[in-house]
Amino acid sequence: MKRESFLKQFVTLYLPLVLLLVFILFPFYWIFITSIKPETELYGAITYWPRAITWESYKNLFTTTVNFISAMKNSLIAASLTTVVSLTASTLAAYAFSRYRFKGRRILMAMFLSNNMFPTVLLLIPLYSIMRNLKILYTPWALVLAYTTFTLPFSVWLLNGFMNDLPMTLEEAALVDGCNRRTAFLKIIMPLLGPSLVATGVYIFMTSWNEYTFAVMFTNNASRTIPVALKSLIGQLGVDWGLLTAGGIITIIPVCIMFFFAQKRLVEGLTAGAVKG
């Protein structure tokens, strides 16, 4: 890597980065500020740092009727299970689409793509019946099944795109060297695919983490997830800004920390694969 002058680096890296980050992070900052402002300071002259800080909302989070700890646990279970199930199924399918040519392939691929073109609001009643008949209502599996269905198509296509972008030379070399397909897949493709798997996994996780409509129908008090818990803070008589924003903050932070560790895999992929290859 060549050393760049500070000015050049500033203009091409730091300046645009800071501008984008301000746009991305300001609403988050505003959520945080709102969570520590007393209710009276919300209306009136705008303050960029509260005149009086209160952590009351955070304390209330753990004493109100909305069980945040349990909701976080439920969200985590549903989102993690979905990520595992959906990522596994979509990696297998994407590998088949990317590396094999078989009858019905194009039709299946088109089917996957069209799956998400239909607004879910029209599917709710039959979906509920299906979950009920499968006897998985109110268990995490109802959500896992629903989220897997609606994340699979995108994941398959994403991974298919990533795989098509991967240089095929390494894999072919391995096949020539006498590896069978499965070994080639596990030893060559998987490590190379690391970053893409992380990215797709994050996509699946986020989608399941943030979903409300299925969550409110397929869960009960015991299996409620975060979006439902947050929404129950918005009644006919207004929004409980303090609880809502504090609840938002404590759900955002752990996911960011998780991603902080996951993102290392984003850059490790290629080097690791190249070394093994």
Partner 1 sequence: MVKKKSIYPYLLVAPAVLIILCVVFIPVVNAIRMSFQNYDLRKPKDIAFIGLANYAALFKDPLFWKSLIKTIQWVVFGVGFQFLFGFILALLLNRSFRGRGVVRAVSLIPWVTPGVLIGLMWRWMYDGNYGVVNDILQKLHITGDNIAFLANPRTAFPAVIVTIVWQGIPFFALMILAALQGIPYELYEAADIDGASPVQKLFRITIPSIRNTIMITLLLRIIWVANSVDVIFNMTEGGPAYATQTLSVYVFNKANILNLGYSSAMAIMLAILLCSVAVPYLIFTFRGEDD
Partner 2 sequence: MKKMRLAGLLAAAALGVVSFGALTNAESIEPCTLNYVYWADNTDYSALMQEIIAKFNAENEYGIEVVGEEIPWDGGGYNNTLFNTVMGGADIDVATLKLTATPMFVNNDLLEDLNPYVDAWEDKDDISENLYNIMKQAGGSDAMYLMPWNTQILYVYYRPSIFEAAGVEVPKTYDELLTAIEKCTMDTDGDGKTDVYGWGMRGASGGQEPWGSFIYARGGSWDDLSTPEAIQGMQDFIDIYQKGYCPPTATNDGFQEIIANFKSGLTAMTVHHIGSSKGMVEELGDDVGAFIFPAGEGQWTSMGDTENVMFASCENKDAAFEWLKYLAAYDGEKMWCEGTGNIPVSTTVQQGEYFQNDPFMLVSFEGVDVAGILPIKDETTEWITNWPATVSQALVGDITAEECMQQLNAALNP
Site for partner 2 in 62-81 (CB under 8 A): 64-66
Q: Which does 95 bind (CB under 5 to 8 A by kind): partner 1, partner 2, none?
A: partner 1
Q: Which does 66 bind (CB under 5 to 8 A by kind): partner 1, partner 2, none?
A: partner 2
Nearer to partner 2, 51 or 106 (CB): 51
- Nearest approach in angstroms of CB 44 to partner 2 is 6
The upper half-sphere exposure of residue 144, i.e. CA atoms within 13 Å in the direction of its Cβ, equals 19
User: Could you say whether residue 51 binds partner 1 (CB under 8 A)?
Assistant: no
Q: How far apart (Å, rounded) are the C-alpha atoms in residues 243 and 235? A: 13
What mask, x for binding partner 1 by CB under 8 A, covers residues 245 to 274? x--x--xx--xxx-xx--xx-xx-xx----
DSSP code, position 2? P
- With contacts defined by CB under 8 A, how many residues of the chain interact with partner 2? 30
- CA angle in degrees (0–180, nearest 5) for 30-78-218: 95
Which uninterrupted H or E stretch holds 238?
strand 238-239
- Candidates 162, 158, 144, 166; CA nearest to 112 is 158
Positions in 68-97 near partner 1 (CB under 8 A): 88-90, 92-93, 95-97
User: Could you say whether residue 231 binds partner 2 (CB under 8 A)?
Assistant: yes
Q: How far apart (Å, rounded) are the C-alpha atoms in residues 199 and 166? A: 15
- Nearest approach in angstroms of CB 179 to partner 1 is 14
- With contacts defined by CB under 8 A, how many residues of the chain interact with partner 1? 104
Q: How far apart (Å, rounded) are the C-alpha atoms in residues 26 and 23? A: 6
